[in-house]
Structure 1
Amino acid sequence: MSPFPPRTAATGKAASSFLPQSSGDGRADAGHHVLVVMFDGVQLLDVTGPLDVYAAANQHGGDYRLTTASPDGKPVRTTAGLRLVPDLALDDADFPIDTLVVPGGPEWRVPVADRALIDAIRRLAARSRTVAAVCAGAFPLAATGLLDGRRVATHWRLAAELAAGFPRIQVDSEAIFVREGRFVTSAGVTAGIDLTLSLVESDLGADVARAAAKYLVVFMARPGGQSQFAFRTHARVPRHSPPRDVTDGVVTDPGGNHGLRALEARAGGDPEQLTRLFPTETGSTTADFTGRLRVEMAQALLEGGDDALEVVARRSGFGSQEAMRRAFGSHLGVSPGLYRARFRTTRPEAVPRRS
Structure 2
Amino acid sequence: MQTGVKITAFAAALAATFGTAYGVGRGIDPVVTEAKPAGHDTHAEAPPAPEGDGDHEEHEPAGEGPQAPAGGLQISEGGYTLDLKTPRVEAGRPADLRFTVRDGTGRAVTSYRREHEKELHLIVASRDLVTYRHLHPARAADGTWSIPVELPRAGGYRVFADFTPAKKGAENLTLGADLAASGPYEPKSLPAPSATAETGGYEVELTGGLRPGEAGELELEVSRGGKPVTDLQPYLGAYGHLVALRSGDLAYLHVHPNGEPGDGRTEPGPGVSFTATAPSAGAYRLFLDFKHKGVVRTAAFTVHAGDAADGGGGRDEGVGSGSGSGSDSHGH
Q: Does the pair score TM above 0.5?
A: no
Greater gyration radius: 1
Structure with greater helix share of residues: 1
TM-score by length of structure 2 reads: 0.25
Structure with greater strand share of residues: 2
Asked which structure has the greater RCO (Cα within 8 Å, sep 6+), the reply is 2
TM-score by length of structure 1 reads: 0.24
